[in-house]
Amino acid sequence: MAPSVISRRSVVLWGLPLIVLFLLSACSAPATPTPAPATAPGEAFFKPSGNCAACHQGLKDSTGADVSIVPEWQTSVMGNAALDPYFRASVRMELLNAPQYADAIQSKCATCHTPMARVTQEAQGESTALLGEEGVLAEGHVLGKLALDGVSCTVCHQIPQPPAGELRHSGNMAIDTVTAMGERLLYGALPISEQNRQTMQAASGYLAVQSEHVRQSQLCATCHELYLNYITADGSLSGEDALFYEQTPFSEWLASDFAQQSSCQDCHMPAAAGSAPVSNITPQNTYQPFYRHTFTGGNVFLLTLLKDGKVEGVRNPGGTGLDAHIARTTEYLQTRTATLAITSPRQEGDNLEFAVRVDLLTGHKFPTSFPSRRAWLHVTVKDASGRVVFESGGYERDGKIYGNASDENPETYEPHYTLITAADQVQIYEPVMQTETGKVTTYQLLAASYIKDNRLLPRGFNKSQPPRVSAVVGDALNDPDFTGGGDTVQYRIPVNPAGAPFTIEAELLYQSVSYRWAKNVLDTQSAEAQTFGGMLAQTGNVPVMVASASAQTR
């Protein structure tokens, strides 16, 4: 939507940056906007979330529940994108492995983890350093406040609608770096009164503009569709014609049934109960639906690290905000991700046979996005006395899966199974990266492709005609029971018939950072790795149970 055709008399916004100074004058807005406040150092294009908090908290839905925009965002993974200790340790690992590409590594990572600092420096013709004394995450850096604010309000709400047919990806936010404060556009989807519009412009320097594109999945694709250059066999960086498709949930969604049913925002920004106001200046103006800024996903691991590790700079509204977000995320994983069923349990001589069926509920592959994530089937069989006679997929507190090849040997990985007959066989749904020469790796800058990708497919996804950027790779491609919507795994377990009846229990477990990905980072022994390792030792890396089922033989 071009600025020249936008009517300033009919504007909308989700998160409007305002400061406390203007709360007192809000009820009698000036006839003409006052000049925008002085711009703080480094804030030529963005304002930190604190500027939005004054008017976008204290919001209640129809049931009286608090649905305040800024406090709910503050405890999200997006709000803590720059504070993630695993992210910082991973960046350091990449730098230690390929110091000759330090600028490329840090600039790319900064694009979606510290976007306000990155866009500001890019506009000045500078690359972005994240770590070290000169990094934007360093104490006292002029852009530190913006960097530590993560994926903040004035990032997403300044991303313009892309031209028809164009997909912006890999951090291409197309932020306007020409227009000065006082006239900069901020896009949203809820009506705002002229009074609020003028007050917001005077307080923050932004003009609230209506645009439905902020409710569309393409907005999320800006960062959650990520293609990377990689180090080739000769040591150079690959060109734009040879990219590693690191994460592609947008393309996966587009290839699923969900593309015609719901957007990313519909699932990850749950609607408030009934209606709610967008601003506490005009609480009488309520809207339905009102989409909450929780950005609920599946990363319980990171949220727990932030809370238990008392990470400096982490915001925990009311002292319970992170607890609430952990509970919300856990519930989301256990109610909106997958279901599990055990079918046809029967004894055939000395063997117990059954099948475990996983039905996926998500609109993209699961696990999703960053390739450190994995899910697996934990299956146990107990005899009539309650004694465990078989177990596949057991795990340790540090996240290691018993029997998983990769957790024992970094050069290999667990294959995809259609039939499991032994305890050291585990069905693990995961992406496994490989270098250009076919070596398994967890270094992103070395990853040229996947050697295995059997992540569960969303309903409607045709694995024989996948998106160019998101194929099924490995044995799952030839598994007739692995299709869009789920997977069925057969089990044939040797048992002593005298132990009947047998009880079968199955769980689908999920890990945000798998054991091998964590260990490779920790093995660098960098300062960032030691910080992450200390937190990991405290919290452990115990997976989240996503779904469960049980059955018994007769």
Single-letter code of the amino acid located at 482: F
Q: Quickly tell me which residue has 């024989």 as its tokens.
A: 464
Q: Is 418 among the domain residues?
A: yes
The set of residues, in sequence order, having a beta carbon less than 8 Å from that of 454 and lying 6+ positions away, is: 416, 429, 430, 472, 473, 474, 475, 476, 482
Same structural domain, 341 and 279:
no
Q: Is 137 among the domain residues?
A: yes
Same structural domain, 542 and 417:
yes
pLDDT at 243: 98
pLDDT at 175: 98
Same structural domain, 65 and 166:
yes
The alpha helices in 76-167, defined as continuous H runs, are 85-97, 102-113, 115-123, 144-148, 153-156
The set of residues, in sequence order, having a beta carbon less than 8 Å from that of 5 and lying 6+ positions away, is: none
Phi, psi of 390 (to 5 degrees): -160, 140
pLDDT at 497: 94
- H/E segment holding residue 533: helix 527-539
**Residue 256, CA distances (Å) to 97, 225, 554 in order:** 37, 16, 39
Same structural domain, 345 and 483:
yes
CA terminus-to-terminus distance, the chain: 65
pTM over 0.85: yes
The upper half-sphere exposure of residue 307, i.e. CA atoms within 13 Å in the direction of its Cβ, equals: 23
Q: Is 328 among the domain residues?
A: no
Taking the C-alpha atoms of residue 138 and residue 435, their distance in angstroms, rounded to an integer, is 32
Q: Quickly tell me which residue has 């106001």 as its tokens.
A: 277
Taking the C-alpha atoms of residue 41 and residue 28, their distance in angstroms, rounded to an integer, is 30
Same structural domain, 228 and 348:
no
Determine if the peptide bond prior to 41 is cis (ω within 30°): no
Out of 240, 265, 283, a domain closes at 283
Out of 265, 283, 301, a domain closes at 283
Q: 3-state secondary structure string, 169-234?
A: CCCCCCCCCCCCCCCEEEEECCEECHHHHHHHHHHHCEEEEECHHHHCHHHHHHHHCEEECCECCC
The alpha helices in 245-360, defined as continuous H runs, are 249-254, 264-268, 300-308, 321-336
Phi, psi of 441 (to 5 degrees): -150, 155
At residue 87, the 3 state secondary structure works out as helix
Out of 268, 283, 298, a domain closes at 283
Same structural domain, 416 and 506:
yes
Q: Which residues pair with 185 in a beta bridge?
A: 207
Same structural domain, 80 and 201:
yes
Domain around 401 = 337-433+454-472+479-552
The CA radius of gyration of the chain, in Å to the nearest whole number, is 25
Same structural domain, 245 and 348:
no
- Contact predicate 295/269, CB 8 Å: yes
Q: Is 525 among the domain residues?
A: yes
Q: Is 160 among the domain residues?
A: yes
Single-letter code of the amino acid located at 131: L
Same structural domain, 230 and 364:
no
What tokens were used for 56?
């976008």
The set of residues, in sequence order, having a beta carbon less than 8 Å from that of 114 and lying 6+ positions away, is: 81, 82, 128, 130, 136, 137, 146, 147, 148, 150
Nearest alpha carbon to residue 300 among 333, 326, 267: 326
Same structural domain, 499 and 419:
yes
- Contact predicate 203/22, CB 8 Å: yes
Domain count, the chain: 2
Same structural domain, 182 and 277:
yes
Q: Is 305 among the domain residues?
A: no
Taking the C-alpha atoms of residue 155 and residue 45, their distance in angstroms, rounded to an integer, is 9
Phi, psi of 322 (to 5 degrees): -70, -40
pLDDT at 418: 98
Determine if the peptide bond prior to 289 is cis (ω within 30°): yes
Q: Is 273 among the domain residues?
A: yes
Q: Is 294 among the domain residues?
A: no
Same structural domain, 266 and 344:
no
Sheet with 431-434, side-by-side order of all strands: 440-441, 431-434, 449-453
Single-letter code of the amino acid located at 444: Q
Residue 86: alpha-carbon gap to chain centroid: 14
pLDDT tens, residue order, the chain (554 aa): 333 333 322 333 333 333 333 333 333 333 344 444 546 778 999 999 999 998 899 999 999 999 999 999 999 999 999 999 999 999 999 999 999 999 999 999 999 999 999 999 999 999 999 999 999 999 999 999 999 999 999 999 999 999 999 999 999 999 999 999 989 999 999 877 787 788 788 878 899 998 999 999 999 999 999 999 999 999 999 999 999 999 999 999 999 999 999 999 999 999 999 999 998 988 999 999 999 999 999 999 999 999 999 899 999 999 999 999 999 999 999 999 999 999 989 999 999 999 999 999 999 999 999 999 999 999 999 999 999 999 999 999 999 999 999 999 999 999 999 999 999 999 999 999 999 999 999 999 999 999 999 999 999 999 999 999 999 999 999 999 999 999 999 999 999 999 999 999 999 999 999 999 999 999 999 999 999 999 999 999 999 999 999 999 98
**Residue 520, CA distances (Å) to 100, 244, 371, 529, 554 in order:** 20, 20, 14, 10, 46
